[in-house]
Structure 1
């Protein structure tokens, strides 16, 4: 007997069964629980999970509806903890606990991610059960929201992130891979393989196996990166490196005011100060930057005019580009700047912390920025007018991205591609400061401010829209390879070997395996330390030499299903 498929769900099909108990009483308010899930956590209940009043067994139906909400929440919590479980856990069984009114015992199947401790799943389910029980009886107030978010951070996210290394790009990229039917496996340390065999590619956050280790080291050092760019004939920042204030002042005077001050070895815009125009401002900015610098060194840089634009380069092409505007509010012609800020702050506070913007109440830095832009906190900006609250965009202060992909001048695209190639980076975020990205860099004094290794992918809506294109270019199709299974004695063996030969004649490096023996495309035996069909097949799926696999399920009763 023969089974055939293009690729396999080999790893993802393995589930993790977890049993749990909960109490479902008649006064349990499912409507309030749904409001909590939707409003506070942005989790919307599947209509199929609603409790039907027409059920012959109302208690069981209600318990089922409640358990499914708990499982839905547990699945979402795992994603929040950077565990890529995108299918809702499925309830396998549900039964009342004898002698205990309202208590039920259930068993559910979770999609298992390799090298993720089982404790993560148990923690997610336990916290989901506690949260749902509390939310079903708690009023939706600002105080209760904050209590929920604090408990979520302390009791779940912090301990899980200690167990699961990952970056901010990992879940957005893997979520899209899952939606596109691209299989993946966790190799450990937050590194994932997408696809199988010769079609497989590997990623860590937004980086790939094609990124140069030396290039990433250079990119992480602002001074080394600028020196390399300049030596290669690309526009780079002009700066001095200072270990004390006297050297910083000397450098600033040599460059001419204003200058930019920043630590040599920090990311996300931490410690960056712009528009430094005199000695007093320099002293304050220098001390702040030096405290954040691991090396104790600070960069004093000539300030150039313009706005930072991020060009996301992948596989030798521009994936997308954004103008990185500072955090701002948009005028409506009715409210003052102060009122606009307060409205936006309250709007963000009503959202879960992980989707909030970085906007904060008006402070001294915001007042200075607003005034520099020609406004006052009592001004009423016309509809559509942007009022900046910070001088620059940064991860620390937040900002607003404006898509510029189709507007980047070809010379600027070429410059970004050259920079990525210079550093040997398959994926790079090239930050260009320019007055106008639609003008060639050599005509308006633009510079490459930074070359970013592992740039954030999927952090905002614009970036998320481009992930499918990124994966399409990164992988060959959906990353799956042909895998065919045969069963039986001598006749099955001969059919399997014949099929292997057919695929080899088509130009495929097709491997054949049983639970005890594996042959490569040349008929040579590959020695493996396994006497198990699953393990041998898994080893082949991880090999870049394998274009196709033919499997023979022999008479070994211990051999589990693989396809």
Structure 2
């Protein structure tokens, strides 16, 4: 088919472009300093010995037990579990077997894009295209797919991360990250969509450039990803009748992505008390289904106080190497959970305690000061 050959040529062009972009515009973030501070504070709280081994690796010891972390990576999930949770179709099948709602979806590849087109046409609203495997940090995800042309472009972009792809119905609602440890909910964070605020003069592209410049200046203080200008960005803007050339009004907030992993610091909100028992139970059953001791569950729902079936929501991903910064970069810091403490407690085999704590560690205090500055 001619369009398949076109897709493959586009895929090769995108590979070359991605390499050039990575060399010129990537964030070479020295994130190990932030993680070292987080783990050092947790070690102090538990009376554990802390050693910074360099290269992002920290070591902890107490009462004859030793463990290590590599930035946010911890020794809780085995390699098989990591592979399972990295396979989105497999995760969806495991959740379906537990009657946990997931989006209606179809697995396909570039040679079978006709099936994805049929799936798209059968949906009442927009769809999401993403890699079936890999695609960490939202890479290769395109929301708001409504037509064949966008589907083809989204499939080519997702194929940079995985040969197998997924198209799924786009779920309406707010984005939440639920963090589980040994079946217990540690924290829940509402994650806003990445946005920029207009000044009445700058285009959306200019505002994104300025925001990325600000984020670069915060390297080592906050773990922030750059706002990428790609198909997902174009799709999010198009949904609001905007483009990269549009000039928002002064004070107007413009959503530039429908994937929440690139939000700014202090944008999130700790909402542990807003999560209802039904959703907590669905999350616990989900981590058991994939065999994870420690995982972040990405949920989209219009009402976290009820179960997903009642709200029309769904679990859209399970991350067995979840980032912890989301739980510290919240605006309601008096409700924040110092999640590193219960995680380190479990790794060192210490007795359980209530993980809920006010945001009073030196790391959290420093984040407050940096945000205000």
Q: Which residue of 2 aligns with 1:123?
A: none
Q: Which residue of 1 aligns with 2:255?
A: 388
1:272 aligns with 2:141: yes
Q: Which residue of 2 aligns with 1:427?
A: 294
Q: CA, structure 1 residues 342+272, in 2 after alignment: closer, same or farther (shift >3 Å)?
A: closer
Q: Which residue of 2 aligns with 1:175?
A: 40
Q: Which deviates more from structure 2 when the two are superposed, residues 356-365 or residues 212-221?
A: 356-365
Measure the CA separation in 2 of the matches of 1:365 and 1:422.
31
Measure the CA separation in 2 of the matches of 1:461 and 1:285.
32
1:223 aligns with 2:89: yes
Q: CA, structure 1 residues 417+187, in 2 after alignment: closer, same or farther (shift >3 Å)?
A: farther
Q: CA, structure 1 residues 172+300, in 2 after alignment: closer, same or farther (shift >3 Å)?
A: farther
2:185 to 314, 318, 332: 318
Would the aligned equivalents of 1:310 and 1:323 in 2 still touch at CA under 8 Å? yes
* TM-score normalized with structure 2 length: 0.68
- What whole-Å deviation, never above 9, does each CA across 1:270-293 have from its counterpart, x for those lacking one? 111111111111111112212331
Q: CA deviation at 1:167?
A: 7.3
Query: Which stretches in structure 1 are left out of the alignment for 5+ residues?
Result: 1-149, 481-563
Q: CA deviation at 1:229?
A: 0.6
Matches within 5 A, 1:137-176: 170-176=35-41
Q: CA, structure 1 residues 477+188, in 2 after alignment: closer, same or farther (shift >3 Å)?
A: closer
Measure the CA separation in 1 of the matches of 2:34 and 2:85.
18
Q: Which residue of 1 aligns with 2:310?
A: 443
Query: Which stretches in structure 2 are left out of the alignment for 5+ residues?
Result: 1-22, 351-373
Would the aligned equivalents of 1:249 and 1:282 in 2 still touch at CA under 8 Å? yes
Would the aligned equivalents of 1:177 and 1:183 in 2 still touch at CA under 8 Å? no
Would the aligned equivalents of 1:441 and 1:447 in 2 still touch at CA under 8 Å? yes
Q: CA deviation at 1:257?
A: 4.8
Q: Which residue of 2 aligns with 1:248?
A: 116
Q: CA, structure 1 residues 458+297, in 2 after alignment: closer, same or farther (shift >3 Å)?
A: same
Would the aligned equivalents of 2:42 and 2:344 in 1 still touch at CA under 8 Å? no
1:232 aligns with 2:102: no
Measure the CA separation in 2 of the matches of 1:168 and 1:447.
35
Q: How many residue pairs align between the two structures? A: 314
Measure the CA separation in 2 of the matches of 1:459 and 1:435.
20
Would the aligned equivalents of 2:302 and 2:313 in 1 still touch at CA under 8 Å? yes
Q: Which deviates more from structure 2 when the two are superposed, residues 453-462 or residues 371-380?
A: 371-380
Matches within 5 A, 1:400-415: 400-415=267-282
Matches within 5 A, 1:341-420: 341=207, 344-345=210-211, 348=214, 351-354=217-220, 355=222, 357-358=224-225, 369-370=236-237, 372-373=239-240, 377-380=246-249, 386-395=253-262, 400-420=267-287
Would the aligned equivalents of 1:202 and 1:209 in 2 still touch at CA under 8 Å? yes
Q: CA, structure 1 residues 407+206, in 2 after alignment: closer, same or farther (shift >3 Å)?
A: same
Would the aligned equivalents of 1:457 and 1:463 in 2 still touch at CA under 8 Å? no
SS of residue paired to 1:218: helix
Measure the CA separation in 1 of the matches of 2:33 and 2:279.
27
Measure the CA separation in 1 of the matches of 2:232 and 2:164.
25
Q: CA deviation at 1:367?
A: 6.8
1:262 aligns with 2:130: yes
SS of residue paired to 1:313: strand
- What whole-Å deviation, never above 9, does each CA across 1:458-486 have from its counterpart, x for those lacking one? 36733797574541464289989xxxxxx
Would the aligned equivalents of 2:32 and 2:55 in 1 still touch at CA under 8 Å? no
Measure the CA separation in 1 of the matches of 2:255 and 2:79.
38
Measure the CA separation in 1 of the matches of 2:57 and 2:186.
22
SS of residue paired to 2:217: coil
Matches within 5 A, 1:482-521: none
Over aligned residue pairs, what C-alpha RMSD do you find? 4.2
